[in-house]
Amino acid sequence: MKLLQLVYCSQPFGYSLEILSAILIASRANNRKHDITGALICRSDIFLQLLEGPEQQVKNTYEAIQKDDRHINVYHLLDQFCEKRLFPAWAMKDDPVKTWMWSREEVSNGIVKSLSKAEVEEVFVKLSREATIFNF
């Protein structure tokens, strides 16, 4: 079965650990119901998320995110069909932005929007390798 992978970035509005926790709890419950897996890379200045699953379910989830007032400046980065999930065991893997990624200044200057599709994909491929290693 072909699966859709969709990646977007946004700015968190009112970011706190409590808000992030609420997003993750709701996302994991909703994603399980709709056969969606993925990862959310998060920091107070950026959300970068990959959703993967049945095409219509992923599109519906992305539409809901675009309407969610906890996200501002939602920007679609990539969608592609794939045969295999990057995060099959994760209804929503969460990960703080690693220091090897981008500084706050780079994010503010729009580095994420300038990434190629291959660079966007590589961010999540690296994260999926870590998730596999540490998923006991």
Alpha-carbon span 76 to 66, nearest angstrom: 10
pLDDT higher than threshold 50 for residue 136: no
Q: What residues make up the domain containing 86?
A: 3-134
- 2 close to 83: Cβ distance less than 8 angstroms: yes
Give the three-class secondary structure for 81: strand
| pLDDT band at 131; cut points 50, 70, 90 | low
CATH number at residue 93: 3.30.70.100
pLDDT by residue (tens digit) across 30-71?
Answer: 999 999 999 999 888 999 999 999 999 999 999 999 999 889
Residues in Cβ contact with 31 at an 8 Å cutoff, skipping those fewer than 6 apart: 37, 38, 51, 53, 61, 91, 92
pLDDT band of 19, cuts 50, 70, 90: confident
What pLDDT, on a 0 to 100 scale, did the predictor assign at position 130?
81
Q: Give the number of domains in the chain.
A: 1
